[in-house]
Structure 1
Amino acid sequence: MEQKNHYVNWFRASSPYIHAHRNKTFVVAFGGEAVLADDFQDHVHDFALLNSLGIRLVLVHGIRPQIDQRLKDGLPPRFHKHLRITDGPALQCVKEAAGLVRVEIEALLSLGLANSPMAGAKIKVASGNFVTAKPLGVIDGIDYCHTGEVRRIDSEAIHQQLDQDNVVLISPIGYSPSGEIFNLSAEQVATAVAIALKAEKLIFLTEQNCVSPDSGEQLQQLTSSEVSGLLERHPDLPETISQPLRAARHACQSGIARVHLINRFQNGALLLELFTRDGIGTLISSSPFEELRPATLNDIGGILELIKPLEQQGILAKRSREKIEMEIGDYLIIERDGLVIGCIALHAHLQRHFGVLACLAVHPEYQRSARANRLLDYACRKAKQLHLKTLFVLSTQTAHWFIERGFTASDVDSLPEPLKALYNPQRNSKVLCKDLE
């Protein structure tokens, strides 16, 4: 029964993300290594599930190991600065590898066996000449031959396929107006496609976790500027993670709101990243994923949801939606990916130069990361900017927390008259104050 309850709770918790992702365009990129892996069918099942949930899905696959396999019988693979030099024999291997991988993925997406995750899926897959390319040319005296770079993405044609509920499958191959074929970087193709489509998300299934070289811990979130700093400080990062990081930075700088780096070896990685609050991968964005800011009217629902349990426990005094709406300019919040996870109110009495802190709350899952301290510090800084001289707090159960942060115990008689008139003897709140001068 406990297992069933866990499943029900998880399903309910995922519903906001199901609603948020419906009809959004996601570009998912993965290397040829993922296609060769025994568990690739599991990823295909997850692709099918995303499609069934109304997500407009574009898949971009790599083919590097497949090309290398075909070159073993002839010339060894040739690279310069981690880019393949695609001469005539290598180009033939590129075409063979791209065709084979594309057909294999289409076959897996076409499965519909009963008693399997693909039962009843009936997925339609569309491929085509969506990518126009040009030669990379000669760099450092090295002729890259048929290695190219993206020149243009036919976004209109891709959108037409997505509008018909098709999954679009794109190989790292580009074509020139003169009919030439070019071998492209899968990361570059995926990034260019996401930018051209104005996709909501670009997702890379990577060969390893994105970890901090300093601490060895996985990096959960980065801004594009932090990615630049990481790459500058650690130029020796393995290509399996530095290439997706560079692609993610470029995507964010070009208007993609969210880029995810997910270790493909984690079972169900795509679902855990997209349908749980904190995910399991590394999120990269142009702006911080978590932001402390003044509240707006759009945040009222989130604030009410956050403080409701505390009101029921008697920790906070009850506040109506109307009261919060009237005082919304006094509230500060911490927003994490659209969810209000913390709030505090600073009710300022400018003429008498005092303020009242109220409604300090942090979501239970985020209470061990000093977010309450951040809210309090922010409110104190704002109070000083307003030239307030004293801050008051009325608390029933958290008095010691405020005392540990510089507040002192006081009594009701010390309260200014406007605040004394609002004091509720039935709650018998402790009175705390802090001088700001």
Structure 2
Amino acid sequence: MLEGDAIADDNFAHIVQDIALLNSLGVRLVIVHGARPQIDQALNVLNIKSQFHGDLRITDQAALNAVRAAIGIVKSDIEARLSVGLPNTPMHGARIRVVSGNFVTAKPKGVIDGVDFQHTGEVRRIDRQAISQQLDQGNIVLLSSCGYSPSGEMFNLAAEDVATQTAISLTAEKLILMGESEGLPATAKESDSDSSMVISQLTTDELSRIIDSLSGEHKFHALAASTAIKAHINRVHLLSYKVDGALLQELFTHEGAGTLITADDYELLRQATTEDVAGILELLTPLEEQGVLVRRSRELLETEIHRFKVIELDGMVIACAALYPYSSDLAELACVAVREEYRSGQRGDRLLNAISAQAKAEKINNLFVLTTRTAHWFMERGFSEADISALPQERQSLYNFQRNSKIFIKELK
């Protein structure tokens, strides 16, 4: 979804190129555009004063003429720009087909608090089959912030409503809402946060706790995101149309560019499986080369994979740790590793807590760890330095005196 302001922004030409690139890669795209500023401008030209009730525009017959004109102009502008394709790139001249039509059936908003909203409406139905047929043919589907009733009446709709209901109807993988802001403000979550910072990701449970503190665009987008996630859309992304490359960065990098909203924690801490072996090896190899960890072969890792827990981020293993029980009294915490670019998010603590919980569930009383570089990290988390004699006999026999690892033990309470 693109706010109406996006079409008038200087960065819109770059957004169009990104959309064209995604289409060329086979991404199935439905674009929903708003037209609020264009409608305001058309009303001013016609010398018509807009009426609002709450945050909703009351669209009478006179205002509807302005809505028709504004939506028509915006729709034509988007179609024209997409028709240019990808100038000044190796793909210049590639054919990009944009299809629009009466895919949205609308109904009147009705009378609320005694106020008749007339031609302001809401989505009644999305023609999923017709849209899917166009997507199957490689076309981009363009939807406007309007819809038509079975009797032929036109209704002015909120772009957020059209985008959300379309995503739900198509069971889309993602709903992307592009507004002026780069995402939800961090101040909504933490009162002492920098006002210029945005929340990079949160769950719908977290969103429900801050949604009442939001206003304007933030609230509109948050409500749309909540509705979509509850209807089983996997992810909703809130991005800024002002940031060049935000769309591609959000879709193709792990860091993203705005706010990602999901039903559950986007980073999944889980039991490792054999499918994680390659990812764990990729994670451990640099640390093994630096001498931080003892080298493990793929074969050994495959046989010991049941001892590992991993943190997965969008299909990539970004952290791991393992538990090796020796007796009812002692178990080793091993292979604690976090990708360098993700070491600031307390992921090591999450793994330590998960391993500790597993050990306690197995009636193990103490965890020990051998380390050459991270002694203080473990000390800060309640581990105390110990002598080699504190290790189980089996582990003492495997101790590498050349590495001279320090030994730390923590009692699990």
Amino acid at match of 1:395: T
Say whether the 8 Å CA contact 1:45–1:117 is kept in structure 2.
Answer: no
* 2:240 is aligned with 1:263: yes
**Is structure 2 residue 204 aligned with structure 1 residue 224?**
yes
RMSD between aligned residues? 1.8
Q: Does the 8 A contact of 1:207 with 1:264 survive in 2?
A: yes
Aligned to 2:359: 383
What corresponds to 1:145 in structure 2? 118
Structure 1's 126 and 67: CA in aligned 2 closer, same or farther, altered over 3 A? same
Confirm or deny that 1:188 pairs with 2:188.
Answer: no
Seen in structure 2, the aligned counterparts of structure 1 residues 179 and 257 have a Cα distance that, compared at 3 Å, is: same
- SS of structure 2 residue aligned to 1:327: helix
Identical-pair percentage? 53
Q: CA deviation at 1:115?
A: 2.5
What residue ranges of structure 1 are gaps of 5+ in the alignment? Answer: 1-28
Residue range with higher mean Cα deviation, 171-180 or 322-331: 322-331
Relative to structure 1, the CA distance from residue 359 to residue 114 in structure 2 (aligned partners, 3 Å threshold; closer, same or farther) is closer
Q: How does 1:363-378 map to 2 (within 5 A)?
A: 363-378=339-354
Superposed displacement of residue 208, structure 1: 1.6
Cα offset for 1:56? 0.8
Q: In structure 2, which of residues 292, 311, 322 is the aligned counterpart of residue 345 of structure 1?
A: 322
Summarize the alignment of residues 276-425 of structure 1 with structure 2, pairs less than 5 Å apart: 276-349=253-326, 351-425=327-401
> TM-score scaled to structure 1, two decimals?
0.88
The reply on whether 1:88 has 2:61 as its aligned counterpart is: yes
- Other-structure match for 1:26: none
SS at match of 2:309: strand
Please list the CA deviations of residues 343-390 of structure 1 after superposition, one character each: whole Å capped at 9, or x if unmatched: 1101123x5431011000011011123222222232222212221122
Deviation at 1:125, TM superposition (A): 0.5
Deviations 1:49-72 (A, max 9, x none): 111122111100001111111111
Q: CA deviation at 1:112?
A: 4.4
Whole-angstrom distance in 2 between the partners of 1:75 and 1:102: 22
TM-score, normalization by structure 2: 0.93
- Is 1:68 matched up with 2:40? yes
What is the rounded CA distance, in whole Å, between the counterparts of 1:44 and 1:52 in structure 2? Answer: 12
AA in 2 matched with 1:231? I
Return 5+ residue gaps in structure 2 as ranges: none
Query: Counterpart amino acid of 1:138?
Result: V
Q: Which of residues 82, 98, 103 in structure 2 aligns to 1:130?
A: 103
CA offsets 1:276-320 (integer angstroms, 9 cap, x no match)? 221120011111112323223332222111111011111111112
Check the 8 A contact 2:309/2:321 in 1, yes or no. yes
Q: Deviations over 1:390-409 (max 9, x none)?
A: 22212233234323332233
Instruction: In structure 2, give the amino acid aligned to 1:312.
Output: E
What's the offset of the Cα at 1:113? Answer: 7.4
* Amino acid paired to 1:226: E
Larger mean Cα displacement after TM superposition, 334-343 or 423-432:
423-432
Distance 2:369 2:86 in 1: 63
Q: 1:243 aligns with which of 211, 220, 223?
A: 220
**337-346 vs 54-63, which deviates more?**
337-346
Provide the residue aligned with 2:13 in structure 1.
41
* Cα distance change, pair 279–90 in 1 and its aligned pair in 2 (3 A): same
Deviates more, 1:48-57 or 1:329-338: 329-338
- Matched to 2:351, the amino acid is L
> 1:276 is matched by which residue type in structure 2?
T
Alignment partners' CA distance in 2, 1:206 and 1:171: 16
User: 2:17–2:85: 8 Å Cα contact kept in structure 1?
Assistant: no
Partner of residue 8, structure 1: none
Give the conservation status (yes or no) of the 8 Å contact 1:111–1:118. no
Change (3 A) 1:226 1:275: same
Cα distance in 1 between the residues matched to 2:11 and 2:356: 53
Rounded to whole Å, the distance in 2 between the matches of 1:136 and 1:430 is 69
Go from structure 1 to structure 2 and tell me whether the alpha carbon gap of 1:166 and 1:380 turns closer, same or farther (over 3 Å shift): same
Contact 2:12/2:241 (8 A) holds in 1: no
Measured in 2, the distance between the counterparts of 1:113 and 1:168 equals: 18
Distance 1:193 1:117 in 2: 33
**Pairs within 5 Å for 1:208-219:** 208-209=181-182, 210-211=184-185, 212-213=187-188, 214=191, 215=193, 216=195, 217-219=197-199
Distance 1:112 1:292, change over 3 A: closer
- Structure 2 counterpart of 1:229, one-letter code: R
Amino acid at match of 1:46: D
Q: Deviations over 1:259-280 (max 9, x none)?
A: 1101111122112222222112
